[in-house]
A and B are shown apart, each in its own frame.
Chain A
Amino acid sequence: MQQYSDTFLDNASAALADKDKAEVRDAMALFTPLVRNAAMDQFQHFEELRQHVKQVRQHSLDNLGHYLESYEQQAVRNGNQVHFATTGDELNSIVLDICQQHSARRIAKGKSMITEETGLNAFLERANLDVMETDLGEYIIQEAGETPSHIVGPALHKSAAEIRQLFLDRHDLGERELETTEDLVSEARQVLREHFLNAQVGIIGANALIAENGYSMLVTNEGNGDLCANLPPVLIICTSVDRILPRAEDATAMLRLLVRSATGQAQTCYTSFYSGPRREQDIDGPMETHIVLLDNRRSDILASDYREMLQCIRCGACLNHCPIFASVGGHAYGWVYPGPMGSVLTPLLTSLEQSQALPNACTSCGRCAEVCPADIPLPDLLRDLRHAEVEEKIAAPRWRQGLKIHAWLARQPRLYQLLTGMGIALLYLLGRKRGSFSKLPLASGWTSQRDFPSPQGRTFMQQYKAEHKHRE
């Protein structure tokens, strides 16, 4: 997918200026944590389960070579053809080759963030293939020519009214009302059903790959991914090497956290495990199945200090709980993965230079780490990335200079206390009357949005010392 993370600040300002969209985001930001929290309260074993799942994920990553090999053996035994792709371009070429070998024209696609990452749709369309997204959210944004704003609900940034207009414009179905959400869903069902039945290749993702038996797990509510997996004569599963889990029960243990974290359900309507192509005695299913495993720098992350990021199960809870995501929306982040998980992943999967603003799009409030079902210390990883920006001289020179001065000053406690004491006293004198400042030199980033409260006259250290003396 085309990246535009380097204009994050402009993207964010534009998003904030669109009041209608901001309202849609506010509604989602209120609603999504509620359903997740209700589900976790009812479940009662959140912490115990998350520690278990985290340990299993870490164990899988520690022994990824072993489990990946075991998965590959089992998958081949089940009749699959397994492919490896170092980069997104390689994945795209492998998929196109398979489609061309079968002279396929029509592709039915289930939701897959990996193929968003590699820009598969655009690649296949350039080769004149007719690719149709079948997850309702993905279908809507495909028709609108947009990209996902959320990893679980890709079209949640659009209002029902916009979707109605989109369908009226795009579907040649004559006069009709399309008044309710049900009408919209029915129309998409009708349009997509035809596509499912005529597609020559189905492409889906996987939520987990099971090393012990070579099955892949697919989690959906619509059942669209299952239609892609069962109806077309060729099935291609595109996923990444870090999705491996040792046992089937590890996948369902993860599922308990994944679904509650994502949608507040105990289980999605469809949780399916696919082993491979149809067997001799089968009467349905694809004749041929391919599994394409993407690395795209995940093996580098595995060898780095950011390894914990690979524990991510893609539930979207950190997005739903992030005040920055709620304010600016997913598109501002400028790539496939938004919110806190995206602000860590994007620099690691693309480059820190291109996505420099993302690790800074954080208030360090810690809500993401609190709700993360994989117990990833997201605020710590974001801080480490900010540190790396300074170390690698990616952060702006003025900012680095400021930090350098601050670091030096913080190591001279007497001087630091003297200067901050003077500064605070000065601000107190200047702001005493109004109680706040609407403009401050060097702090326009703060004062352009809100007033800066005037200090109360003395620094913490001055008060602490006075209190200490008083007690003695």
Chain B
Amino acid sequence: MSDSARASIFARIRYSGSGASAAEIAAAREALGRAPAANLPGSDLCSSFLANVLLNRGTVDVVGNRSEAVTAVGKYIYQHYRTHRLVAGNDPRLAAMPWRDAGVLPRFGELEAGEPVALSYARLGVAETGAVVTFTGKANPAANNLLPENHIVVIDVADLVPDMEMAWSRIAHAMTTEQRPRGINFIAGPSSTGDIEGKLVYGAHGPRHWHVILLGEVPQAALGEAQAIAAPAATTGELD
């Protein structure tokens, strides 16, 4: 059934096609150029990214080094869950963190039922949308993004990109040295729904809280600027 369906669908589509060669088609697409991106809200990548994370109803921490990152994680989970435990993917960057310094007890692997907090190390952060990008795999099983109550994401300043075009260019570059990831996830907020009367509610299926830790040389004024940008934002509704 599928073979004849394939042939007939292709025949009908080709009948109304341009008949151009692959080279002509590639040139025509190239001539269309690239799309305009959203303006960055802040004065630099860090402040813009942080502002958009806040606008996406995330919370943020800014830390200078890995030791501070561990401390920030420890403080955050203790405040929210009175625990030192969390689940993290088998990401070498996470394994190399000085967890003992802050008394945090990570379990490396895939999140299991009843575990409330997962930690991911993002591959990229997109300033335009305030999204972090993770690849599925050992380093970050999909369940760790999707099933915890609380999702904590560490992102290096060096991995911030201005817009989604740059994000894809970095992803395409990564694919030249590693296998195509099974899943690429842009995450921009805790799981939400507006399906009941258009009223926005968090924790539809996945995380109710989303905490982003920006690690590296962040300009001193960036966090304050981001908070000022995000503070007066009007509440927007979501439908899906």
Residues of A within 8 A of B (CB): 24, 27-28, 31-32, 35, 38-39, 43-45, 48-49, 52-53, 55-56, 59, 62-66, 68-69, 78, 83-86, 90, 93-94, 111, 134-137, 140, 150, 152-156, 158-160, 163, 181-182, 184-186, 188-189, 192-193, 196-197, 213, 215, 220-224, 226-227, 229-231, 241, 246-249, 252-253, 255-256, 262-279, 281-285, 293, 295, 299-300, 302-303, 307, 316
Contact A160 B2 (CB under 8 A): no
Q: Does B100 contact A (CB under 8 A)?
A: no
Please state if B237 and A35 are interface contacts (CB–CB under 8 Å): yes
Partner of B138, one of A222, A270, A281: A281
B158: Cβ under 8 A from any A Cβ: no
- Residues of chain B in range 190-240 having any CB-CB distance to chain A below 8 Å: 190-199, 201, 203-206, 234, 236-240
Q: Are the CB atoms of A265 and B238 closer together than 8 Å?
A: yes
Query: Which B residues touch A39, using CB under 8 A?
Result: 236
Closest to A253 in B: B35
* Inter-chain contacts of B113 with A (CB < 8 A): 197
User: Given the complex, which residues of A lie within 8 Å of B14, measured CB to CB?
Assistant: 65
Q: Tell me what chain B mostly uses at the interface: helix, strand, loop, or mixed.
A: loop
Contact with A along B76-90 (1 / 0, CB 8 A): 000000000000000
* Chain A residue with Cβ nearest B137: A282
Chain B residues whose C-beta falls within 8 Å of the C-beta of A49 in the assembled complex: 35-36
B182 touches A282 (CB 8 A): yes
- Decide: A186 and B203 in contact? CB cutoff 8 A: yes
Query: Measured between C-beta atoms, what is the minimum distance from B32 to chain A in Å?
Result: 5
Beyond known contacts A52-B32, A156-B198: 11 more, CB 8 A cutoff? A35-B237, A63-B18, A65-B14, A94-B1, A153-B195, A155-B195, A241-B9, A269-B192, A273-B185, A275-B183, A281-B137
Q: What are the residues of chain A within 8 A of B191 when measuring CB–CB?
A: 221-223, 269-270
User: Are B180 and A213 in contact, with the CB atoms below 8 A?
Assistant: yes
Complex Cα distance, B131 from A255, in Å, reads: 13
Give 1 or 0 for each of B170-191: 1 = CB within 8 Å of chain A CB: 0110010001111111111111
B9/A269 in contact, CB under 8 A? no
Given contacts A160-B197, A221-B204, contact A283 B138 (CB under 8 A): yes
In the complex, what residue of chain A is closest to B182 when comparing beta carbons? A285
Complex CA gap A162/B165 in Å reads 44
Which residues of A sit under 8 angstroms from B17, Cβ to Cβ? 62-66
Is A268 touching B240 in the complex (CB atoms < 8 A)? Answer: yes
Q: Which single member of B34, B189, B201 contacts A185 (CB below 8 Å)?
A: B201
With known contacts A38-B234, A230-B142, A269–B183 Cβ distance under 8 A: no
Query: Taking the complex as formed, is B97 at the interface, i.e. its CB lies under 8 A from any CB of chain A?
Result: no
Query: What residues on B are CB-neighbors of A156 within 8 Å?
Result: 195, 197-198, 239
Q: Which residues of B contact A281 (CB under 8 A)?
A: 137-138, 179
Cross-interface CB contact of B204 among A224, A256, A272, A276, cutoff 8 Å: A224
> Across the interface, do B164 and A264 meet the contact criterion of CB distance under 8 Å?
no
Decide: A59 and B28 in contact? CB cutoff 8 A: yes
Q: Given contacts A247-B29, A299-B9, A303-B15, is CB(A271)–CB(B182) below 8 Å? A: no
Give chain A residues whose Cβ lies under 8 Å from the Cβ of B6: 84
Cα separation A33 to B137 with both chains bound (whole Å): 40
CA A302 – CA B10 in complex, angstroms? 12
Is A272 touching B185 in the complex (CB atoms < 8 A)? yes
Please tell me if B72 contacts chain A, counting CB pairs below 8 Å.
Answer: no
Q: Is B43 an interface residue (CB 8 A)?
A: no
Write 7 A-B pairs (CB below 8 A) sorted by A numbering: A65-B14, A137-B193, A156-B197, A224-B204, A231-B142, A247-B168, A284-B142
